[in-house]
Amino acid sequence: QKEVEQDPGPLSVPEGAIVSLNCTYSNSAFQYFMWYRQYSRKGPELLMYTYSSGNKEDGRFTAQVDKSSKYISLFIRDSQPSDSATYLCAAPNTGNQFYFGTGTSLTVIP
């Protein structure tokens, strides 16, 4: 079983829709959970992270972690064409190595 698994998509939504991106993880020792965004032909960049369980909001983006079910989610409200990208969930271990999901490709149609 992979340390972090991600719904592969691809996902295609109309502009203004609410988007839900999801991952699960297997290692209960993970404390930090990240979401990276990767535009086409670019490197990933950190979008946001959460520590332990709970929600974190940043503008139209909300990251949610449920440690009891080992579930990670990213919600995008009022999605825009500029949100079209691949989204990667990730969790680091204490050795600073990252475990990445395979990524979900999102297209927001104007």
Partner 1 sequence: DVKVTQSSRYLVKRTGEKVFLECVQDMDHENMFWYRQDPGLGLRLIYFSYDVKMKEKGDIPEGYSVSREKKERFSLILESASTNQTSMYLCASSLLGQAPYEQYFGPGTRLTVT
Summarize as ranges the residues that interact with partner 1 (CB under 8 A): 6, 8, 31-32, 34, 36, 41-46, 49, 51, 88, 92, 96-98, 100-103
Specify the residue, 95 or 110, whose C-beta has the smaller distance to partner 1: 95
Comparing CA positions, the residue from 106, 105, 99 lying closest to residue 5 is: 99
Query: Dihedral of the CA atoms 85, 90, 92, 98 (nearest 10)?
Result: -70
Shortest distance, position 77 Cβ to partner 1, whole Å: 24
Shortest distance, position 104 Cβ to partner 1, whole Å: 10
